[in-house]
Amino acid sequence: MMKVLHIIPNLEIGGAEIFLSQLVSRLPQAGVESRILALSAGGSIKDEIEQNGSVVYELTPGSHFAVPLKLFRFASALRHQWRPDIIQGWMYHANLASLMVGMMLRYRMPVFWNIRMAHTQLNTEKKSTALTVKAGGILSRAPDAIIYNSQNSAILHEEELGFSSRNRHVIANGFDTDEWAPSPDARLRVRQELGLPPDTTLIGMIARYHPFKNHSGFVKSAAQIHRELPSAHFVLVGTNVDERNADLLMQIRKTGLAGFLHLLGPRRDVPTLTAALDVAVSPSHMEGFPNAVGEAMSCCVPCVVTNVGDSAALLGEAGRVVPPGDSNALASACIELLSLNDVQRARIGNTGRQRIQQNYSLKSVVARYAALYAGALGETR
């Protein structure tokens, strides 16, 4: 078995973390044993990864300045206990850590980076993150491969942030179409949870709260849709999308959507919530490869997306594409989809699921990672 050590900042709920969990649970079938090093302790996905058979290491809490010493001690122990064949970093901080651990292990092995951010406006990030990104650009010729999950992200990093194009690989996210699937039962259960009639129209956005995700645009569009379809309801799901978000609550009150827009916060039953929607919306100002759109497509839910990143390329004919920042166009596209009859909307939904099954299956993505690992080892042995 090939042995791969994955290094990631944390194991909280997030797109990269969830995808890593799915990946390492299936890599053994391709002859790859995985272990994970989280640079911070805890995280709600840790138990899931361990239950699926992968060992998780964690750095103990403490000062950021102590991280190099902690990594050195970890590498020293790992060298004698479990010698990885490959190290793969996930996202900027862990990418730099992967280079450090690779040097500390004192033997030659391929080091891969995984980059998932799809914007270059570093002034919107923490200073430490911006510095880490810049350092990544300077050191980007060092890893044996840089894996992006979208073509757009690769181009942005190379043209605007100075990342090396040498050994660039684009591997889109994959989707488990058994987990993400249409479900009449989910539609009923979610409406029951919200206290709504079974036939209520439900429009949703599933994303963490961040300016680039454009929750304010969704709220504006929802207000327009509500004027046309007064019985429609809306759901927002994701980290910091709950009653503690004062800014979001203020926007909802200003638009008169109180009682019609439901803030559900982070949830572990996102496949159920997604399958309950009539239309899924991705109003992002910037995006790489939007997991939430692919997941909705897998559930036969028509989508409305903004034309950013790889969103339109992913969607194909499974919904509508509108300009970013145009809440009027977003609302009109949703209303148009909802005005279709059940057969027409089902046809669009089925087109989306078929597209995911044919082009973005998790099985095919796992095979691509395994092939990349095998190819790198073949070159270094």
pLDDT tens digits for the chain (381 residues)? 999 999 999 998 778 898 999 999 999 999 999 999 999 988 889 999 999 999 999 998 777 778 999 999 999 999 989 999 999 999 999 999 999 999 999 899 999 999 987 766 787 778 888 899 999 999 999 999 999 998 889 999 999 999 999 999 999 999 999 999 999 999 999 999 999 999 999 999 999 998 899 999 999 999 999 999 999 999 999 989 999 999 999 999 999 999 999 999 999 899 999 999 999 999 999 888 899 999 999 999 999 999 998 999 999 999 999 999 999 999 999 999 999 999 999 999 999 999 999 999 999 999 999 999 999 998 655
- Among the residues of 119-212, which ranges form H helices? 127-138, 151-160, 184-193
Query: In the structure encoding, which two tokens stand for residue 347, read together?
Result: 């046809």
Strand partners, 226: none
**Burial (CB count within 10 angstroms: exposed 0-12, middle 13-18, buried 19+), residue 142:** middle
Q: What is the pLDDT of residue 379?
A: 60
Who's near 324: CB < 8 A, 6+ residues apart? 214, 283, 284, 285, 286, 306, 307, 308
3 state SS of 181 = coil
How far apart are the C-alpha atoms of 255 and 239, rounded to whole Å? 22
Structural domains in the chain plus CATH codes: 2-174+361-380 (3.40.50.2000), 184-359 (3.40.50.2000)
Phi-psi region of 125 (alpha: psi -120 to 50; beta: other; left: phi over 0): beta
Q: How much is the pTM?
A: 0.83
Query: In the structure encoding, which two tokens stand for residue 331, read together?
Result: 């609302």
Amino acid at 131: L
**CB 274: neighbour CB atoms within 10 A?**
25
Of 49, 22, 53, 25, the C-alpha closest to 38 is 49
The dihedrals phi and psi of 170, each to the nearest 5 degrees, come to -115, 115
Give the CA radius of gyration of the chain: 21
Residue with tokens 């300077």: 138
Of 339, 336, 200, 186, the C-alpha closest to 272 is 186
